[in-house]
A and B are shown apart, each in its own frame.
Chain A
Amino acid sequence: MVPLLLVMLSVIGWPFIDTVRLSFTDARLVGAGGDFVGAANYQRIFASTAFWRAFFVTTEFAVVSVFVEVVLGVLVALLLYQNFRGRNILRALLILPWALPTVVNALLWRLIYNPEYGALNAMLVQTGLLDDYRSWLGDPNSALVALIIADAWKNFPLVALISLAALHAVPHDIKAAAVVDGANALSRFRYVILPYLVGPLMVALILRTIEAFKVFDIIWVMTRGGPANSTRTLSILVYQEAFSFQRAGSGASLALIVTLAVTMLAVAYAALIRKSAGARF
């Protein structure tokens, strides 16, 4: 444990503490170190509409994308749990979107959403579902949704695979007993299967929510936060503040606020897990 702790301390612990220190200064990225400014950075951030807007965009992105991934993932797991020909091939395919590098995924969807030559517009118009080509990433009403779809497509396989493993952990006799008792499919899912899914799903939910809250790559490549900052998440905002505008101090404060939000989310979910686990056993 000691070497790992040492490495983590030096490569994570120290930068983190330094970030805390920076967050109380007006340091610039390049050039002279900053002066101590107390909580001024934090005050400015909490008073800024840009921050709150990014906060809500990030929350919306995280909540909706994870929700879609979980629902889709569980449905796909239930499907792949059934017996049919080609099931194993489908299971193998499931790994593909997950293995695709995030940046390539973002590029791929940017090309699909292209307003003039994109496949989505072409498909919808040629099948008559849409009258005219649309600007998916240029319209604040659709840009975030478009990003969420791209993100969910890549990440639902993870939830599906975890759920599938959990399904296989359900003892056969319990399922058989439920069938004998004449429970219909829905109540069988609700009372027999679901309890086995909740734990693993919660873990997946936490992991994905933390990831989604930190989102940077896919947005950077697809919209860079536009149009009109409607997809500017907190990580993008931190990048802009600390690196584009070179305000390392307030960038650090902002990053710490993001960290705090992620931690609180994770703790809340963990409490939920403990509660649901306690209720079950």
Chain B
Amino acid sequence: MERQSLGFTVFLYVCAGLLAIMILAPFAWLFIMSISSTTDLVSKPLHWWPAETNWSRYRILTDLTPNTHGAALMTALVNSIEVAAIATFASLVVSVPAGWAVSRTPAVGWSLWLVIGTYMLPPVALAVPLYMGLAALGMLNTKFGLALVYLTILAPFTAWLLKSGFDPIPRDLEKAAAIDGARLDQTLRIIILPLAAPVIGTAALFAYLLAWDEFFYALLFTSDHRAKTVTVAIADLAGGRVSDYGLIATAGVIAALPPVIFGLVMQRTLISGLTRGGVKG
């Protein structure tokens, strides 16, 4: 390592400090708003720290009494968890064999590119027929219908990640299995999947976060508590009749907690996935 001058070291720490503030300040403010009294939030000059903390909004928003703000948000939260889980599972089911096939048979690589190419389609280009199609199938405002649509966002992504994850697994293993008389699906299940477990985990995590974040399709294809996801629910809450900014901030904190905690706990997995996707291209 090269020697660093004192000036450079100071410069480094100043930059690092600024970066930390830049990242953390908005989060901190969201949290402070969620525990400030309404009076503090609408005072001029603004009170940066509440005179006394007020946690009541967390109670309001986690209250499960039917037909309340809390019930609406919690139901949406559960819907989000379910929709994201169904979509993630389904996307793995289709993209594990696909990623494997492309990894082993480069000749069919074009098909993966075709699938990845769909990433360029803006959701608005598919929304109208999807809407009409879901309507015809009676799947509008259902979790399953929404998950099916999410599959189209997740599958290209997971297939791509999985293909690059399968690539380094030696083929000799498969050949040996074939000689032992294993069928293709057995090979995949017994030999490949355990080896590829980490990359499958990464893909699943990404898929889950992507599905959690989705807003546009959820806005169009859900209409009430039966399928409405948390992103739509908090957009509705914030756009509606709420005179208290703290309540909006609290809803934001609640909706952000799952992915942010996921992100922090699983950061190594996430970063490896991000950079795998990015660097390998």
B129 near A104: Cβ-Cβ < 8 Å: no
State the Cβ distance, A69 to closest chain B Cβ, in Å. 13
Residue in A closest to B239 when the chains form the complex, CB atoms? A221
Tell me which of A40-48, A139-147, A255-263 binds B: A255-263
Tell me which of B57-65, B94-102, B179-187 binds A: B94-102
Q: Does A271 contact B (CB under 8 A)?
A: no
Given that A108-B30, A235-B124, A262-B122 are known contacts, is A8 also in contact with B46, CB under 8 Å in the complex? Answer: no
Across chains A and B, the number of contacting residue pairs, with CB separation under 8 Å, is 270
Tell me which of B66-74, B167-175, B190-198, B212-220 binds A: B212-220
Q: Does B115 contact A (CB under 8 A)?
A: yes
B94 cross-chain contacts in A, Cβ below 8 A: 3-4, 7
Interface residue SS majority, chain B: helix
Count A-side interface residues using an 8 Å CB cutoff: 90
A103 near B98: Cβ-Cβ < 8 Å: no
Contact with A along B130-154 (1 / 0, CB 8 A): 1111000000000000001101100
Q: Does A37 contact B (CB under 8 A)?
A: no
Compute how far the CA of A15 lies from the CA of B2 in the bound complex, rounded to whole angstroms: 57
Q: Which residue of A16, A18, A83, A101 is within 8 Å of B259 (Cβ)?
A: A101
A216 near B216: Cβ-Cβ < 8 Å: yes
A14 cross-chain contacts in B, Cβ below 8 A: 129, 133
B255 near A104: Cβ-Cβ < 8 Å: yes
Interface size of B as a range:
35 or more
Residues of chain A in range 161-176 having any CB-CB distance to chain B below 8 Å: 161-162, 164-166, 169
A242 near B128: Cβ-Cβ < 8 Å: yes
A-B contact pairs, 8 of them (CB 8 A): A3-B94, A4-B155, A5-B98, A16-B121, A107-B252, A112-B29, A207-B278, A251-B128
Binding site for B on A (CB under 8 A): 1-5, 7-8, 11-12, 14-16, 18-19, 22, 29, 76, 79, 82-84, 86-87, 90-104, 107-112, 114, 116-117, 119, 122, 125-126, 153, 158, 161-162, 164-166, 169, 179, 199-200, 202-204, 207, 210, 213-214, 216-217, 220-221, 234-235, 238-239, 242-243, 248, 251-252, 254-256, 258-259, 262-263, 266
